[in-house]
Amino acid sequence: MTTIVLVRRNNEVVVAGDGQVSMGNTVVKSTASKVRKIEKKGVVAGFAGSTADALTLFERLEAKLEKHAGNLSRAAVELAKDWRTDKYLRRLEALMAVGDKENSYIISGTGDVLEPEGDVIGIGSGGNYALAAGKVLMGTEMNAEEIAKKAIEVAAEICVFTNNNVKIEKI
């Protein structure tokens, strides 16, 4: 389990995630990085779910971005189609929050490519807590990075599968 939050504000897009990796009720690692940047394409992504599954999906997203000349919308739809229909991929259990300068999406294994309203996305076990905190913090003078970090910290206080070892990527 994990918590990922994506915040867009003032032409900045930030993805933040906690560092906790759990197996059942046991914390296995507290410093994992569940956020990634695809530097060449100006895309940031965060993953909630199985680590190996998330890394596989990140590689697939990167390949789709290459194939579609960095068009995140097209890459997200193509990844979701593959994820839903491919015999191997459909067994992967993860959610992705991805964003570039223009778009933010939640991508799921059921074929969903959702473009949530507003400028905050929260996924994972503490995603709703981080989403609520992020939405409240959007009414402050904080920048996107500060909002994302604080949202994860709030989620970590409530969700037992989230810690406050925050990793951040931004574009």
Mind giving me the DSSP string for 22-70? Answer: EETTEEEES----EEEEGGGTEEEEEEE-HHHHHHHHHHHHHHHHHTTT
Cβ contacts of 88 within 8 Å, gap of 6 or more: none
- pLDDT at residue 76, as a whole number: 95
Question: Which residue from 122, 124, 106, 171 is spatially nearest to 145, judged by alpha carbons?
Answer: 171
162 is catalytic: no
Q: What are phi and psi of 44, to 5 degrees?
A: -120, 150
H helices of the chain, in order, are: 51-67, 72-85, 127-137, 144-158
In percent, the amount of the chain with pLDDT more than 90 equals 71
Q: What is the mean pLDDT of residues 140-163?
A: 97
- What is the pLDDT of the chain when averaged over all its residues? 91
Question: pLDDT higher for 87 or 84?
Answer: 84
Q: What is the mean pLDDT of residues 89-97?
A: 76
Q: Each residue of 27-81: pLDDT tens digit?
A: 999 998 999 998 788 999 999 887 777 788 888 899 999 999 999 999 999 998 8
- Out of 76-85, 141-150, 152-161, pick the least confident: 76-85
Look at phi and psi of residue 122 and say left if phi exceeds 0, alpha if psi is from -120 to 50, else beta.
Answer: beta
pLDDT surpassing 90 at residue 1: no
Domain ranges of the chain: 3-170
> Cβ(144)–Cβ(135) under 8 Å?
no
pLDDT surpassing 70 at residue 87: no
Among candidate residues 2, 26, 56, 162, the one labeled active-site is 2
pLDDT surpassing 90 at residue 108: no
Look at phi and psi of residue 78 and say left if phi exceeds 0, alpha if psi is from -120 to 50, else beta.
Answer: alpha
pLDDT surpassing 70 at residue 88: no
Q: Tell me how far apart the alpha carbons of residues 127 and 137 are, in angstroms, rounded to a whole number.
A: 15
Q: Tell me how far apart the alpha carbons of residues 142 and 9 are, in angstroms, rounded to a whole number.
A: 9
Question: pLDDT higher for 111 or 135?
Answer: 135
Q: Tell me how far apart the alpha carbons of residues 66 and 72 are, in angstroms, rounded to a whole number.
A: 10
In percent, the amount of the chain with pLDDT more than 70 equals 96
3-170 is a CATH 3.60.20.10 domain: yes
